[in-house]
Amino acid sequence: MAPRLDFSEWWAKDSKKGTPVVVKMENPNYSVVEIDGPDTAFRPVEKSRGKNAKQVTWVLLLKAHRAVGCVAWLATVFWALLGTIKKRLLFRQGVTVATEKLGKGKLVLKVIRVFLVTSIAILAFEVIAYLKGWHYFENANLHIPRTSDLQGLLHMVYVGWLHFRADYIAPAIQALSNFCVVLFLIQSVDRLILCLGCFWIKYKKIKPRIEGDPFKSDDVEASRYEYPMVLVQIPMCNEKEVYEQSISAVCQLDWPKDRILIQVLDDSDDESIQWLIKGEVAKWSQKGVNIIYRHRLVRTGYKAGNLKSAMSCDYVKDYEFVAIFDADFQPNSDFLKLTVPHFKNNPELGLVQARWSFVNKDENLLTRLQNINLCFHFEVEQQVNGVFLNFFGFNGTAGVWRIKALEESGGWLERTTVEDMDIAVRAHLHGWKFIYLDDVKVLCEVPESYEAYRKQQHRWHSGPMQLFRLCLPAIITSKIAAWKKANLIFLFFLLRKLILPFYSFTLFCIILPLTMFVPEAELPMWVICYVPVSMSFLNILPAPKYFPFIVPYLLFENTMSVTKFNAMVSGLFQLGSSYEWIVTKKAGRASESDLLAAAERESKTINQPQMHRGASETELEELNRLKEQKEAAAKPTKKVNKIYRKELALAFLLLTASVRSLLSAQGVHFYFLLFQGITFLIVGLDLIGEQMS
C-alpha cells in the first residue's frame, strides 16, 4: 500500500493560495491528495524530521548553559547573603554595639539565633520534600506507604518528620493558639464595650460642664479673685525645632499676668540651643509676660527629674494649679479658661486633661496611621474612662493638675520612663478624680519618621510594665474600692498593656506564619480575617475619613506588635532598654492660623525697639550672633522617605500567611512557602542586628 500523506492539520492552519487541483484515483489502495498550487505537486517529499546527533548536542549545550547561569546566579545570591551575615554577625559592620546593654539581652539574642537557624533548616527540608513530590499533607486520603515500601533514607526521615509534626508539634501550637484566641476575644469584647460606651456618651451628650460663668463679675476688683494662681511649665530638651512656637503660644494664654507664672524648664545639653531659648524667654519677658528660664546643672531623671526640680522652688507654694505642655504643644489662648474652672466647687478633682490635635496628621502614611490610633485612644478610651470611672492615664502634657493632688500623691518620681502614668496611678490610689475634656484640643505633632515613632512606642510600652511591677503592692494594699483595684490590675495594666501586645505578637507574628510549616495546626477563618477586620473598623470609627487606609492599618498594627512586644518584655523583666529615654524628634510644624498670627505679631513689632532688661552687652551680642547663625542655617531640607525592610517583610509575611490559609492548591503552597522563607530570613537578620545594637 502506498504511504498515506495527511496534510489536514496544515490545511486547517494555513491560508490557501492558488487554485486547488483534485486528483482522484479509482484504485482504493491510493489516498486522495489535494494540491494547493502548481508548485506543490512537484515539491520533493519531506523526509523524517528526526534530529541528528549534532542538533541534539547543541540543544544539550544550550540547556547546560542555562543551568550554569542559574547555578551561578544562586551562588552569587548565596555568597552575598553569607557576606551580609559575616558583616553583621562576625565583624558587626554597620552595627553600633553598646556592651553595657548586652547583659540580659544576650539570652534573647541566642534564642533568636537558634530559632532562625532551625526555621531555615526546616524550610530547606520542606523545599526538598516538595521537589521530590512528597505531598502527604496536601491529600488527607493519601495512604502513607509502609516502611518496607519506602525508597531512600531521606524519604523515611521525611515521613518520620510528618508523624512527629502531627503528634507533638501541631498539638503544642494548637494549644498556644487557642490560648491566644481566648485572650484575643477578651480584648475584643473590652474594645467593643468601650465603643458602646462612646456611642452612649455621644447619644446622651454627656460631657463635663461648668456651672455658670466663673469669670463674670460686676466688681472689677473682686473679679480678680476669681482667677486662681496658675503655674505653667514647659519641659524641653534640645527642642531646637519647636521651642519658639511653644513658648509663643503659652505666653499668649488669656489669663491675668499677675496670676500666672511660666517656667521654661530647659534640659538641653547643647549650649547654642540654651542661648536661643534664653533669647526667646527674654523677648517675651520684655513684653510684660511673667516668664522665667530654668536649667539644671545635674540632669538626672529625664522629664520627671526636670519637673521635680521645678516643683521644689519656694515660690511654687503660692500657686494652686500647674499646667504642663511639652515643647511641641501649642495651646489656644482660652485653654486655662476652659480647664481651670472645672476645679471650682470640686475639691476631689485632681486633674483636667485636654485632647491632642495634630498639625501634621496628613503628612504621610505613618502620620495617618498614628492618627487613627490616637483618635481612638482619646475619643474612646480616655473619654469613656473619664465619664464612667473618673480615671485614666495622664498623657504627660496638655493637662492641669491641682498642686495639692501632686504633693499628696508623692510628687514626680524618677523610677520609670512613664512618669505621667505613674503620678496618675498614685493620685487615683489616693482618691483623686480626673476629668477628660474631648472638646478642648491642643495642637501638637506626631512623629513623621518611623525611627522616631518606634522609639516613642518602645518607651510607651516598656514603661507601663515596669510601673506595674512597682505599683502592684501599693494597689493591693490601698484603701480604694475592690472594683477600682480590679480595674487597675486587670483592665488598665494586664489587658491593655500586657495581654494586647502579647497575643498580637504571638498569634499573628508567630503562630500564623508557623501554620505554613505545620498545616495540621489551623487557625479559624474568623480569627484570621473577620474579627481583626471588625476591630479595625471600630478603631477607625473616631476618624472615619481614614477608612481607605484600613488594610495598611491592619498590617501596620501587626508588624508594630514586634516592637511593642519587645518593649513589654523589656519593661516586665527590667532589661536595660526599659530605662532608655530618647527625645522624640520633632519637625517644628505649625498650623496655618499660627503662621498668620506670627506674621501679624512680627509686623506690629518690627518698628518697636526691643530692650533686653537684665541682660549684659556680652549676652546680647551672643544672642544676636546665634540668631544670625540660625537664619543662615534655615534652609529647606529635602525629605527622605526611608523603607524599612524588617517591617515591610514582616507585613508581607503575615499577608502571605493569611492568604495561604485561604488557598489549598498544591502548586500554590510551594511558592508561598519559598516567599515566606525569604521574608522570614530578612526579618531574622534584621532582628539580630537590632538586638545587637
How many angstroms separate the Cα of 407 from the Cα of each of 336, 401, 411, 582? 21, 11, 5, 27
From the candidates 36, 326, 328, 420, give the one annotated as an active-site residue.
420
Return the closest-CA partner of residue 444 out of 520, 339, 331, 552. Answer: 331
In the chain, what's the furthest Cα-to-Cα distance? 135
| Cβ atoms of residues 253 and 232 within 8 Å | yes
Determine the Cα–Cα distance for residues 451 and 642; give it in Å rounded to an integer.
10
Cα dihedral 36, 37, 41, 45 sign: negative
Distance of alpha carbon 324 from alpha carbon 303, whole angstroms: 11
How far from each other are the two terminal CA atoms of the chain, in whole angstroms? 86
What is the secondary structure of 671-686 as a DSSP string?
HHHHHHHHHHHHHHHH
Closest C-alpha among 230, 224, 341, 228 to residue 290: 230
- Catalytic pick among 267, 326, 328, 438: 267
Give the number of C-alpha atoms closer than 13 A to the C-alpha of residue 281, restricted to the C-beta side: 21
Q: Are strands 260-266 and 230-236 parallel, antiparallel or unpaired?
A: parallel
Whether 267 sits among the annotated catalytic residues: the reply is yes
Which residue's entry shows cell 473577620?
Answer: 530
Q: Which of 416, 380, 381 is nearest to 396 (CA)?
A: 416
CB 482 within 8 Å of CB 585: no
Which residue shows C-alpha cell 494662681?
A: 229
**Distance between CA atoms of residues 111 and 127, nearest Å:** 24
Cell of 555: 498590617
SS3 readout for 474-532: HHHHCCCCHHHHHHHHHHHHHHHHHHHHHHHHHHHHHHHHHHHHCCCCCCCHHHHHHHH
Q: How far apart are CA 479 and CA 431, in angstroms?
A: 9
The residue to which cell 482618691 is assigned: 431
* Alpha-carbon gap, residue 613 to 282, rounded angstroms: 8
Q: Which residues are catalytic?
A: 267, 420
